[in-house]
Every structure is written in structure tokens, then in C-alpha cells.
Structure 1
Amino acid sequence: MADIRPQGGTAGDGIRTLPFPAELSVGGVGMQVGPMGAGRTWHADDTPLDRVHRIDFHVVMLFDDGPVRHMIDFAEYEATTGELLWIRPGQVHRFSKSNEYRGTVLTMQPGFLPRTTVEATGLYRYDLPPLLRPDAPQLASLRAALSHLQREYEDSAPLPPALHTAVLRHSLTAFLLRLAHLATSSAEAGRRTESTFTLFRDAVERDFATQHSVSAYADALGYSRRTLVRAVRAATGETPKGFIDKRVVLEAKRLLAHTDLPIGRVGAAVGFPDPANFSKFFHLHTGMSPVGFRAELR
């Protein structure tokens, strides 16, 4: 497993925000690509990654071995040979203490690619799944594109720095377009009632901090409660209420981890003006009190 340390990004909550290690990039460009493993140096200093931290850059890991368990935004994902994990800037994550990471890792600094490419590749689609499972043809194409990108990254000598950077941007764009297509396809494949569920999902994302009622969402979207239940079950395997509660819990966890807000203010921010009700809700869904959850991360 790799080790990295930020150059000075420690939030008030004690969780480090790790900056992109540009000083370790070939030619100082805004990306890196190379093998994972015990010998991988991710930053100038060393610190264990099995503690919760944030990153301010993109990480894509393509695994050659597994399984590996990795926490992203407080959810555990298990990746194995031929699968990928895509972690986006600002997400909380933690490396496994017990698993070895083998394969190829790509890291990319925000701003390295132009805005049109960022939009085309969906770099900030936080609604897309971080764990990607390509089929054999998709995996072959991704491996080929990533291998080509790695060769271009490492072979900087024949080109002037500006031209090398331009070549890297083109190669990186080609890889990310394939990756974005896989991510979008994976999300769509699990949504048999796409339009109904998408409208509900977007409404929850917009209003979860103030609205927790399934009936209210159904009325606002113009569906019966039964139709909404069927759509959400088909897309996610859970009830609309479970989906809403999961989003509320995730936001509460983020606020508890990222900020020093008092527990009552965290509760109010996710729709619980009564601190006691928020604590009961949080304990019901996590098995921990808000205070206990925050203490465990520090």
C-alpha cells in the first residue's frame, strides 16, 4: 500500500486534505501514472493512508489483483482484478490496512484539462459509481489507452515541455472519455425505470436537507407513492425512504467529519431542528452517536 503526506493541508476537523504532488510528476505536469505497490511514492513525505483523508485531485486505480476493500465517502467498495475505482476531488476515503494494492494508478490535478474536456468526460459527476466493472472488450480498450498514456508520460525527453504536456492532455482525454462512458453505462444499466428514479434522485439531492417525506416527493413529482416505490426499488433495491435516509446520513457524516460544527447545527443542516431527534436518527442508521462517530475519525 502506498504512503503520502500533504504539504500542509489539515482541516480544523483533523482530517488531512492531500494536495496533488506536482513536485513528483515528470516535468512537473498536472498528472501522474504508474504502478501501484509497496514501492510507490505518492508524496515527498510518508504517512499511512489507512486513516480517513480527503484529496483535492482525481485518482483512478485499475487493479491487477484483489480483492481490495477501499472506503469512499463512508461506503466500503471491494475491487478485484480488472476493476477500477475512481475517486474525485473532495471525497473522503481510506486505504485498506490489510490489502495490497497492485495495478496502475492515475492521478490528475484539477485544471490540467480544459473546461470542454472536463464537461465531456464528466469529471465531477459525483452521482456516478466509484467502482467500475468493465467487460472484457471495455477492459482491453481501457488497458491499452492507459498503457499508451503511461508511455507518453514517461517518455518526455524527445519533446519540448509544452509539447509533452499537450500530448499528455490528448492521451489523457482519450482514456477519460472511455472511462466516463463506462461509468455512465454502469449507472444506466442499474436503472430500469430511469426517468422516474432520476427525477426522484435529483429531487432528493436538491431537497434532502429540508424534506424527508416520501409522499411529499411523490406529490411534487406527480407520481403515486406506489409508482415511486416500484421505481426506486428497481433502480436501487431499496425503498424511497431508505434512499432519502441514506443521503441524509451521508451528509451528516460529511459534516461531522469535515467541520467542527456543534452536533445540533449538524442536525439542523440535514433537517433535524431537534438535536435529540437527530441523534436518535443517526444512531438508528449507523449504530453510533454523532459524537462517537466524530471521535472515531480523530
Structure 2
Amino acid sequence: MQVGPMGTGRIWHAQAPLYRVHRIDFHVVMLFTGGPVRHMIDFAEYEAHAGELLWIRPGQVHRFSPESEYRGTVLTMQPGFLPRATVEATGLYRYDLPPLLHPDAAPLAALTTALEQLRREYEDTTTLPLSLHTAVLRHSLTAFLLRLAHLAAGSARAARSAQPDPPGDTTFTLFRDAVERGFATNHSVSAYADALGYSRRTLVRAVRAATGETPKAFIDKRVVLEARRLLAHTDLPIARVGAAVGFPDAANFSRFFHLHTEQTPAGFRAEVR
């Protein structure tokens, strides 16, 4: 992990133009002290102001804005730095949670204090032996991420009109995680229902209660997102992009992509680059 200041002298990507689409394999949390900053994450534009945070997760694509001045503190973290129990408790892979967070004064103060403490521990490499220094960093990072995850979950609940989690939330969570693991090869609602031990009707009710969508729409949206990521970030031929998301036939992939985006894969790639 690393934590330090954002600013004009910071090198974000040593071997790539800063304002191209990038796909990361680590977590990035930016706490802003200035703004506004416009930043693209997974093809949605977000505008962050002083006192707000952006949380970008592994596998997502993002792009810096040449018109924005990035000021504040940035934390980057490889997925394997924390133990599995902490990863689960902090929701590090909850891709359904909003990336832009707007804390009130008290949560912001707590997050700022926790991040500053983490930064001090990160920079202090002489007080403790390396093993203890690493352990302290993990504990300090966990404290910060638990606060951050609580804020993100609260923002998600507010976006759902402050309603409690629906009765089928556990069913939906299992489905969501299964889709995340299997969307590249499995697009069948019935297959997911069978694998999870639910009837198709139960799965439909749970997904609709949690998202307002059908399970099929949820799967298709995830497939389209991955296809867009690959088209934007890689130079893979379109046929190989299609194969990577479960379409061995390039023509079928192009029809699917156009149905859901009203663009051809080639047209989307040209536009986003």
C-alpha cells in the first residue's frame, strides 16, 4: 500500500498517458481538499468537491481529467495486503456501492483523522521493526476502510430511499457474487438459480427487490460493462473481446453489444479513446 499527497508533481502512471482510460488491479481512494474534480469511473462521470472521496476498485476502468486539479490525499492498496476476513468486513469488492462518497462533517473528520494517522504510520519507517510496522499499517488501514465501507453502505441505502434491505437481500448477494465470478461463461438465469439452489421465481423476486431489474438484465449489464472495459483499455480484436465475455461468434457479440448500447463495438472503442 501507499498513501501520500495528490498534486501536480505526482506520477500516477509511469508508462502510459495520464488521460487515457486505465484499468487498475488495485484499490484507489482519493480524499479531496479542493475541487471540483471530474473523474470517469466505469464510463460514468463523477464530480468530486473538497471533503468528498472517490473509491476505485480493482478491475474498474477510470480516466483522469486534464481540466481538473487533483488536491488532497490518495491511498493505493494491493488486494492481498489485508486478510480475507477484513476484506469481507470492509466490502472491498462491493462493486454495487457508489464510488463517489459525500460524508457529513463528523464522518469526514473521522475519515480524515484515520487517513492522516495511516499516512504518519506509512511514513514512519524507523520507530518499529518491519514486521510490527507492517502490522500497524494493516490495523490502521482496516480502521480507515471500516469507516469508509460504513459510509459507502449508508450512501447506497440512501440511494434506495433509505429503505431497509429487502427480505431477499441474501439471495441477491449470492447471485451478485456468482455473476461476478461466472458472467464470462454463464449468461443463463436458470443455471445460476440451479447452482445457488433457488427456484427461478425466487431469484427473480430477490433480484427485482434489490435492484428493480430482472436477473437477465443484471447479467447482461455486467457482460456489457466488461466488454466496454476491454474495448476501452485493451487493443484486443473485437472478436476476442466477444469471446472473453462469452460470445464465441463475433457477429452475435456485435448484435448483443449494439442492442444494449446502441453502438457497435468498433464505434464505442473509437469514441472512448
TM-score normalised by the shorter chain: which range applies?
0.7 to 0.9
Whole-angstrom distance in 2 between the partners of 1:108 and 1:52: 20
1:40 partner letter: R
Whole-angstrom distance in 1 between the partners of 2:15 and 2:185: 42
Residue 201 of structure 1, aligned match among 171, 176, 188: 176
1:252 paired with 2:222, answer no
Distance 1:172 1:287, change over 3 A: same
Distance 1:135 1:215, change over 3 A: farther
1:137 paired with 2:114, answer no
Distance 1:295 1:212, change over 3 A: same
- Contact 2:23–2:233 (CA under 8 A) maintained in structure 1: no
CA deviation profile, 1:183-224 (whole Å, cap 9, x unmatched): 344445537423454355345445545665778878984364
Question: What does residue 33 of structure 1 align with?
Answer: 3
- Root-mean-square deviation (CA, aligned residues, Å) is 3.6
Offset at residue 51 of structure 1 (A): 0.6
Whole-angstrom distance in 1 between the partners of 2:190 and 2:81: 44
Offset at residue 171 of structure 1 (A): 1.7
Whole-angstrom distance in 2 between the partners of 1:47 and 1:265: 23
Residue 199 of structure 2, aligned match among 222, 229, 239: 222
- Of 251-260 and 136-145, the range deviating more from structure 2: 251-260
Question: What does residue 152 of structure 1 align with?
Answer: 121
Whole-angstrom distance in 1 between the partners of 2:11 and 2:120: 19
Offset at residue 57 of structure 1 (A): 2.7
Question: What does residue 218 of structure 2 align with?
Answer: 243
Whole-angstrom distance in 2 between the partners of 1:240 and 1:142: 36
Aligned residues: 265
Q: Secondary structure at the match of 1:61?
A: strand
Offset at residue 55 of structure 1 (A): 2.7
Whole-angstrom distance in 2 between the partners of 1:110 and 1:199: 21
TM superposition score normalised by structure 2: 0.75
Question: What does residue 75 of structure 2 align with?
Answer: 106
Q: Secondary structure at the match of 2:58?
A: coil
Offset at residue 87 of structure 1 (A): 1.8
Whole-angstrom distance in 1 between the partners of 2:171 and 2:83: 33
2:7 partner letter: G
Q: List runs of 5+ in structure 2 lacking aligned partners.
A: none
Q: Secondary structure at the match of 2:81?
A: coil
1:64 paired with 2:41, answer no
Q: Which runs of 4+ in 1 moved over 6 A?
A: 213-220
CA deviation profile, 1:146-172 (whole Å, cap 9, x unmatched): 122222333445445554433333222
- Contact 1:197–1:228 (CA under 8 A) maintained in structure 2: no
Distance 1:221 1:261, change over 3 A: farther
1:172 partner letter: L
- Contact 1:200–1:221 (CA under 8 A) maintained in structure 2: no
Offset at residue 60 of structure 1 (A): 0.7
Q: Secondary structure at the match of 1:252?
A: helix
Question: What does residue 42 of structure 2 align with?
Answer: 73
Whole-angstrom distance in 1 between the partners of 2:220 and 2:230: 15
Question: What does residue 278 of structure 1 align with?
Answer: 253
Question: What does residue 294 of structure 1 align with?
Answer: 269
1:222 partner letter: S
TM superposition score normalised by structure 1: 0.69
Q: Secondary structure at the match of 1:78?
A: strand
Distance 1:239 1:78, change over 3 A: farther
Offset at residue 295 of structure 1 (A): 4.4
Distance 1:115 1:249, change over 3 A: closer
Whole-angstrom distance in 2 between the partners of 1:107 and 1:208: 27
